[in-house]
Amino acid sequence: MKKDEMMQFKSMVIFNDQISPGYCKIRLTAPREIVQSRPGQFVMVRVYDGIDPLLRRPFGIYDLGVFEPEYPNMPKQHYLEILYKIVGRGTGILQSLHHNDYLDILGPLGNGFTMGNEDDEKILVGGGFGLAPLYFLAKRLVSVSNVKVFIGGRKKEDILCVTEFERLGIDTYVATDDGTLGSMGLVTEVLEKYLSDGGKRRTIFACGPGPMLKSTAAIAELHGISCQVSLESNMACGVGACLGCVTKGSSHTEEKPDYRCVCKDGPVFDSRQILWG
Amino acid sequence: MKKDEMMQFKSMVIFNDQISPGYCKIRLTAPREIVQSRPGQFVMVRVYDGIDPLLRRPFGIYDLGVFEPEYPNMPKQHYLEILYKIVGRGTGILQSLHHNDYLDILGPLGNGFTMGNEDDEKILVGGGFGLAPLYFLAKRLVSVSNVKVFIGGRKKEDILCVTEFERLGIDTYVATDDGTLGSMGLVTEVLEKYLSDGGKRRTIFACGPGPMLKSTAAIAELHGISCQVSLESNMACGVGACLGCVTKGSSHTEEKPDYRCVCKDGPVFDSRQILWG
Amino acid sequence: MKKPDLTVEIAGIKMRNPVMTASGTFGYGEEYSSYLNLERLGAIVTKGLSLSPKAGNPMPRIVETPGGMLNAIGLQNVGIEAFIENKIPFLRTVDTPVIVNFFGNTEDEYAEMAERLDKIPEVSGLEMNISCPNVKQGGIAFGSKPDNAYSVVKAVRESTIKPIIVKLSPNVTDIVEMAHACAEAEADGLSLINTLTGMAIDLQKRKPVLANITGGLSGPAIKPIALRMVWQVSRAVDLPIIGIGGIGTATDALEFMLAGASAVQVGTANFISPGIAEKIVHDMERYLVENRISAVRELVGALEIQ
Amino acid sequence: MKKPDLTVEIAGIKMRNPVMTASGTFGYGEEYSSYLNLERLGAIVTKGLSLSPKAGNPMPRIVETPGGMLNAIGLQNVGIEAFIENKIPFLRTVDTPVIVNFFGNTEDEYAEMAERLDKIPEVSGLEMNISCPNVKQGGIAFGSKPDNAYSVVKAVRESTIKPIIVKLSPNVTDIVEMAHACAEAEADGLSLINTLTGMAIDLQKRKPVLANITGGLSGPAIKPIALRMVWQVSRAVDLPIIGIGGIGTATDALEFMLAGASAVQVGTANFISPGIAEKIVHDMERYLVENRISAVRELVGALEIQ
Ligand SMILES: Cc1cc2nc3c(=O)[nH]c(=O)nc-3n(C[C@H](O)[C@H](O)[C@H](O)COP(=O)(O)OP(=O)(O)OC[C@H]3O[C@@H](n4cnc5c(N)ncnc54)[C@H](O)[C@@H]3O)c2cc1C
Ligand SMILES: Cc1cc2nc3c(=O)[nH]c(=O)nc-3n(C[C@H](O)[C@H](O)[C@H](O)COP(=O)(O)OP(=O)(O)OC[C@H]3O[C@@H](n4cnc5c(N)ncnc54)[C@H](O)[C@@H]3O)c2cc1C
Ligand SMILES: Cc1cc2nc3c(=O)[nH]c(=O)nc-3n(C[C@H](O)[C@H](O)[C@H](O)COP(=O)(O)O)c2cc1C
Ligand SMILES: Cc1cc2nc3c(=O)[nH]c(=O)nc-3n(C[C@H](O)[C@H](O)[C@H](O)COP(=O)(O)O)c2cc1C
Ligand code: FES
Ligand code: FES
């Protein structure tokens, strides 16, 4: 999908289920063109047809698909899935939606991940709902590349998608702060250990909380591995018009500022393009 | 129910059906105390748990009842019904509610109709959703008094509750502006003709659009019949605190103003207490 | 942990907690007495009173706007005499400080009101509404020029020994300047904000919705403006502040306190949930417990700015 | 009935309809070109430009508030040079008037900007944002004192023959006084309103949400204030007015026109529905048809006050 072909569409809820305490997965109908979305791109969702909440909420694309029509002569229906954490008003309303309810969606937006060399080992690093775009990415990568995924979180409940990754035949490495799942500690420590063999050509793809991204970027730098990170920011427009979502680029100084729009220039950036605060 | 015993309660939607184009009836669970509501009282409904819309919307009580529990050992459930016209944002959202959705309700509020002498013939005059409180009133009156109801509206679709009144064994007189139901013209003309026999002792109860009330009040005055009218007004609080809903009382002058709260002093007033603008 | 301390003292008025009801949104207290326990409130602020009864504006007087409402009640009130006769007896039975909101058309009227109120033992404090047009100054509000504000507050100061809280209008270029004028005139505290002037139009009728054409905007919509003004004034002026504007939750209330308010008033939210003021007190207490804060006072002005 | 006439002329700029996009909410036009037909708009107003590129404020820059949003973008822009080089080529291909919003830190900067813009044929008009702090006057906004406004508008007037539209700040006691000052300085039109200054606080972090502490409030929440100001100014000052503030539907737009606006700008609503400006044009046309109004101009100031 070319950038010029972003869409605004009405979408119907197919299902909307809790997948772990505080996390839900929602499947939404989408026009056929949605198939051109790339992993790492996101959509802006309007959860209420009114002013409360007022602004759209950004969510990464977790999965795409087609489901077979109920009656023989109906056309196939494309869908997209979002995996979301309930944090506030917008996600709270999202959670209350039922099958057959409608939503207004804008997207796909932003730049996705660059897949890179097929022969590279692909290292996915994520936490919380950061797993959402990584799962979509993994599905695309797994047929051509060797993929490993590193998942971190505070406690067991925050570790999402392990089964889904395993179903793709991908090795998962899990770490939790409290040791309730996988090894105890930070997932970046597990990553560090894994990478210590040196050797292979690798690419890292990371999405998750800021500190996790920062530390992943540092590890990548250290090992000379190319690393793409998907960032988050408060957003209003999602299309580069409001300049509300910027992050500092690597050449940023007080005198010669270098601000990049997370929505339009990102949300995926090469980790070396970012000034890590 | 004493005035002091108004309630705020969460209520579940039992059903919510269109009864005529643009008009719906909604049945809502209510605490047991609701049985003490009097015809003419109203409730303030919060249709959305947020700020859009912000204020509650007032609706007259259309009916009360109890439905038998689904399972033998469950307690009986009281309910109230509202009959509403879809006019804007709040009623639009109300219409979209389904069985099992929740609403927040305040009430019953205001003063209801005074039933008056049992021997009087009771003349009910209404239009549009003004029929709602009149139906509740009729149910109470019909067992002890002779009741007639006069229903007016622009066209057939605006004539509500005819079957319901007939089911109570009440004679209905219908008039529409365009003659699509009943006689063509104003319902107050039909009323005028009906009253021309003089004779009987009567009381009039009216609820509907301003001009209908004004003209009914004038007719009552002419025939020396006592007349109670239920008024409408923009409301914020519904309890007499904001002074937003006032109407001019009969003794109102620029110098010595006489404002009455529709919510607390009404919504039902003796027609002679009102200054008809 | 023991129960957190919710008490505050504003302008010498001791309150069991910082949550009051805003003038004009809570009648004279009695209207809401069946919905909440008035003795759980920090204080009750009455509908604005004047020397003689005031009729108020013609209808319609209110209209909902996005996230807020406009009102043009026109300060309808029973007048000081009827207040003493009919409202005080009820308020006397409630063990909660009563703050009387009042206004006048001239400085003399303000002063006379203050003198009258000074003599009522049930009145714990005076809240001066200075958003009203000054008839002698061609209708320019007392609250829109620092000089006018100074002189009317001064006149009131000389007429009462009760605490004077001046309620500021947000319809000004520089709210800090207004606050300074009140401080100089020896006010004991400031309430902010009153409503912002707004308007609503009915497209089909081609008419203003309100009979008065314009009205005062209140509700959640104005909260960011109110917070900003409280923050600006609290940094600049050494008077206790009562934060008002769109408060509907304990979170809202505590945000105003972080910004520098020593107490808050709940206005429009009363209309939506009659028991809301009491719920805010309850939730505030829970917040303090959960965050191990021993006294709500600790939060006043505790906003961290780097 | 034949198609209604939607054309308007503001400050000498002919537009096919009264619906423009507001500065800072529509980028430089291109950002939204895939969502709507830019040639269905009355005019495009660019992000505010300055002489040299401006970095803007640190993050976070935006936060949602009840019925609105606060922004503290800090006027980040590419600067006039980059605008000419990188943005004009695209805008040249679009057959819609371009109005350049601009600002400066000093009167001289304003004048220099006007001189530069005067020479760009693709620029149909200039919209002066005077809400910015005047560095020489100790940071008090040009837009908050009539004298300052007069003198900066005068300076711009002397630097260009293109239409000058002055965009007024609502953070003032008397908007009419500001409008008069601009009229006297020979502005050709007025845009109102810019954002109201507000603030949001994060209770858990005990910090302002915005890095800049305060920000500008926009969106539906401010509509009643904007309508009131448009109405006040249109009755008092004989300049065409562009109404701005919370417009999201054709009804909103037409209400502003009844209040006295000859055209409108759509801001925050673009973020919510990228195609909204075009939809407003469409719905406005339908409204005129349904109500048998032959030209939208007939509605300007047609509010009936009894
Ligand atoms: C490009 C992008 C992709 C995203 N993808 C996903 C996803 O796949 N799944 C998912 O669950 N979430 C995702 N998010 C985050 C999601 O947008 C926010 O969680 C959501 O907007 C919160 O909305 P709310 O109304 O529920 O919370 P609000 O009521 O707006 O806020 C509640 C709390 O959450 C915080 N918050 C609000 N917005 C954000 C934000 N953007 N980031 C962090 N904290 C925030 C607020 O500060 C506040 O404390 C993504 C964000 C971006 C920018
Ligand atoms: C005491 C009382 C009892 C009522 N009982 C009923 C009832 O039983 N059934 C019923 O359907 N309605 C009843 N109403 C009217 C009902 O409250 C309004 O129709 C409703 O509030 C409209 O809400 P909305 O959000 O849909 O419309 P809004 O979006 O608020 O307004 C849409 C349009 O309706 C008009 N409008 C808004 N409120 C009123 C009002 N109160 N009266 C007339 N026009 C209004 C507006 O001016 C606007 O043009 C009653 C009103 C009162 C005061
Ligand atoms: C219906 C209504 C009537 C009001 N009357 C008065 C009044 O008499 N005196 C006064 O100082 N403020 C009055 N106010 C302003 C409120 O006290 C309060 O300052 C304002 O509504 C903002 O708070 P809120 O957003 O919580 O409502 C009134 C507000 C409303 C909504
Ligand atoms: C993100 C954002 C950026 C803005 N940038 C500018 C600007 O550069 N110059 C300007 O004059 N106004 C700017 N504004 C103000 C808008 O043009 C408009 O006046 C204001 O948002 C009110 O309209 P609305 O409620 O429709 O958004 C900006 C507003 C927003 C929300
Ligand atoms: S969200 Fe508006 S520029 Fe990125
Ligand atoms: S609605 Fe508030 S006094 Fe009647």
CA D203 to chain centre: 33
Secondary structure element (H or E) that encloses residue D234, with its range = helix D223-236
Percent of chain C topping pLDDT 90: 92
Mean pLDDT of C32-53: 94
CB D229 within 8 A of CB D170: yes
Largest CA distance in chain C: 61
C-alpha–C-alpha distance, residues D227 and D303, integer Å: 12
Ligand 3 atom index nearest CA of C61: 1
Subunits touching A (CB < 8 Å, at least 3 pairs)? Answer: B, C, D
Which chain D residues are Cβ-neighbours of C201 within 8 angstroms? 227, 255, 258-259, 303
**CA B11 / ligand 6 centre spacing (Å):** 23
Which atom of ligand 6 is found nearest the CA of B238?
Answer: 1
C121 band by pLDDT with thresholds 50, 70 and 90: very high
For domain C8-58+72-200+218-299, give the CATH number: 3.20.20.70
Pocket test for ligand 1, best of A64, A85, A87 (most atoms within 8 A of CB): A87
In terms of Cβ atoms closer than 10 Å to its own Cβ (0-12, 13-18, 19+), residue D137 is: middle
The 10s digit of each residue's pLDDT in D174-226 is 999 999 999 999 999 999 999 999 999 999 999 999 999 999 999 999 999 99
Closest chain A C-alpha to C67 CA, distance in angstroms = 8
Q: Is B91 in the pocket of ligand 2 (CB under 6 A)?
A: yes
> Under CATH, which number does the domain A121-273 receive?
3.40.50.80
**Shortest Cα distance, chain C CAs vs residue D250, angstroms:** 10
Q: Does C136 score more than 80 pLDDT?
A: no
Q: Residue A204, SS3?
A: strand
- Residue A198 confidence (pLDDT): 74
User: Could you count the other beta carbons within 10 Å of the beta carbon of residue D212?
Assistant: 20
Q: How far is CA A61 from the centre of its chain?
A: 6
Q: Which chains touch B (3 or more CB pairs under 8 A)?
A: A, C, D
Q: Where are the beta strands (DSSP E) in chain D?
A: 8-10, 13-15, 19-21, 43-45, 62-65, 68-71, 98-102, 123-129, 164-167, 189-192, 196-199, 201-202, 207-208, 214-218, 241-244, 263-266
How far apart (Å, rounded) are the C-alpha atoms in residues C104 and C91? 23
Is the per-residue pLDDT at B3 higher than 60? no
Is the Cβ atom of C243 under 6 angstroms away from ligand 3? no
Least confident of B25-29, B73-77, D239-243: B73-77
Q: A43-81 pLDDT, tens per residue?
A: 999 999 999 999 999 999 999 999 877 777 778 899 999
Q: Which two tokens stand for residue D59?
A: 């993050």
The yes-or-no verdict on residue D6 having pLDDT over 60 is yes
Q: What is the pLDDT of residue B255?
A: 76
- Position D135 pLDDT exceeds 90: no
Q: Is the Cα dihedral C22, C126, C60, D174 positive or negative?
A: negative
Query: Do the beta carbons of residue C246 and residue C222 sit within 8 Å?
Result: yes
* ipTM confidence score: 0.95
The reported pTM is 0.96
- Return the pLDDT at B5: 58
Q: Which two tokens stand for residue B124?
A: 């009910």
Catalytic-role residue among C8, C13, C132, C209: C132
Alpha-carbon distance D73 to nearest alpha carbon in chain B (angstroms): 26
What are residue C191's DSSP bridge partners? C167, C242
Nearest ligand 3 atom, CA C71? 1
Residues of A in contact with C67 (CB under 8 A): 51-52
Q: Kindly tell me if the per-residue pLDDT of D84 is higher than 90.
A: yes
| pLDDT tens profile A183-223 | 999 999 899 888 888 777 999 999 999 999 999 999 999 98
Query: Residue A55's pLDDT is what?
Result: 97
| Confidence grade of residue A6 (pLDDT, cut at 50, 70, 90) | low
Angstrom CA distances, A126 to A230, D153, D177, stand at 10, 54, 57
Tokens of A22: 């505080």
Locate the DSSP E strands across chain A.
7-20, 23-30, 42-46, 57-60, 63-67, 77-85, 102-109, 121-127, 147-153, 171-176, 183-184, 202-207, 226-230, 246-248, 259-261, 268-270
Q: Please name which of A83, A86, A82, A108 lies closest in space to residue A96, comparing C-alpha atoms.
A: A86
Residue A233: half-sphere exposure toward Cβ, Cα within 13 Å:
31
Residue in A51, A240, A244 closest to D71 by CB:
A244
Probe target for ligand 6 pocket from B263, B268, B269, with the most ligand atoms within 8 Å of CB: B263
Q: What is the whole-number distance in angstroms between the Cα of residue C167 and the centre of ligand 3?
A: 10
Q: Average pLDDT of C264-280?
A: 97
Domain boundaries, chain B: 7-109, 121-273
Q: Distance between CA atoms of C232 and D94, rounded to whole angstroms?
A: 45
Tokens in use for D72? 């503290």
Give residue limits of the domains in chain D. Answer: 8-58+72-200+218-299
Considering the four listed CATH numbers 1.10.3720.10, 3.40.50.720, 2.40.30.10, 1.25.40.10, the one that applies to the domain covering B7-109 is 2.40.30.10
pLDDT for A4 beyond 60: no
Question: What b/e sequence results for D173-210 when a residue is b if at least 16 CB atoms lie within 10 Å of its CB, and e otherwise?
Answer: bebbebbbbbbebebbbbbbbbbbbbbbbebeeebbbb
pLDDT at A3: 45
pLDDT of residue B6: 66
State the pLDDT confidence band at D172, using cuts at 50, 70 and 90. very high
How far, in Å, CA of C177 to CA of C194, rounded? Answer: 16
Mean pLDDT of B4-17: 86
CA of C248 to the centre of ligand 1 (A): 23
pLDDT at A5: 58
What pairing do the DSSP bridges indicate for beta strands A147-153 and A121-127? parallel
pLDDT average, residue stretch A226-248: 96
Average pLDDT, chain B: 92
Task: Write down the pLDDT at residue C79.
Answer: 92
The yes-or-no verdict on residue A2 having pLDDT over 50 is: no
Q: Which helix (H) or strand (E) holds C246?
A: none
Residue A128 near residue A213, CB atoms below 8 Å: no
Q: Are C265 and C242 in contact (CB under 8 A)?
A: yes
Residues 6 or more apart in contact with residue C244 via CB below 8 angstroms: C22, C167, C191, C192, C193, C194, C226, C264, C265, C267
Query: Is pLDDT at A251 greater than 50 in this prediction?
Result: yes
- Higher pLDDT among residues A163 and C226, named by residue: C226
Whether pLDDT at B164 is above 50: yes
Q: What is the mean pLDDT of residues A250-272?
A: 91
Instruction: Determine the distance separating the centroid of ligand 4 and the alpha carbon of D22, expressed in angstroms.
Output: 6
Is 90 exceeded by the pLDDT of residue D293?
yes
Q: Could you report the per-residue pLDDT of B58-67, keeping only the tens digit for each?
A: 999 999 999 8
Other Cβ atoms closer than 10 A to C133:
15
Q: Say what the pLDDT of residue C140 is.
A: 78
Cis-peptide, bond into residue C97, ω within 30° of zero = no
Give the rounded percent of residues in chain D with a pLDDT score beyond 90: 92
Annotated active-site positions of D, please?
132
| Cα(A264) to centroid(ligand 5), Å | 7
Interface contact C62-B4, CB threshold 8 A:
no
pLDDT band per the 50, 70, 90 thresholds, residue D149:
very high
Per-residue pLDDT reduced to its tens digit, C44-76:
999 999 999 988 999 999 999 999 999 999 999
Pairing verdict, β A121-127 and B7-20:
unpaired
Average predicted confidence (pLDDT) for chain D: 95
Listed residue (B167, B166, B185, B163) closest to B175, CA to CA: B185
Which is it for strands A63-67 and A77-85: parallel, antiparallel or unpaired? antiparallel
- Mean pLDDT calculated for residue range D263-287: 97
- The alpha helices in C128-262, defined as continuous H runs, are 146-157, 175-184, 223-236, 250-259
Place of tokens 């300052």: D148
A·D CB contacts under 8 A: 96
Q: Could you tell me which chain B residue has the CA closest to the CA of D65?
A: B51
B144 touching chain C per CB within 8 A: no
Which ranges constitute the DSSP H helices of chain B? 89-95, 131-141, 162-167, 187-195, 210-223
Tokens linked to C217: 């905007």
> Which of D61, D63, D202 has the most ligand 1 atoms within 8 A of CB, as the residue to mutate?
D202
Mean pLDDT over D14-28 rounds to 97
> Phi-psi category of D75—alpha, beta or left, where left has phi over 0 and alpha has psi -120 to 50?
left
> CB of D301 within 8 A of CB of D13?
no
Lowest mean pLDDT among B159-168, D162-171, D279-288: B159-168
**What is the pLDDT, as a whole number, of residue B2?**
43
A63: nearest Cα among A1, A8, A135: A135
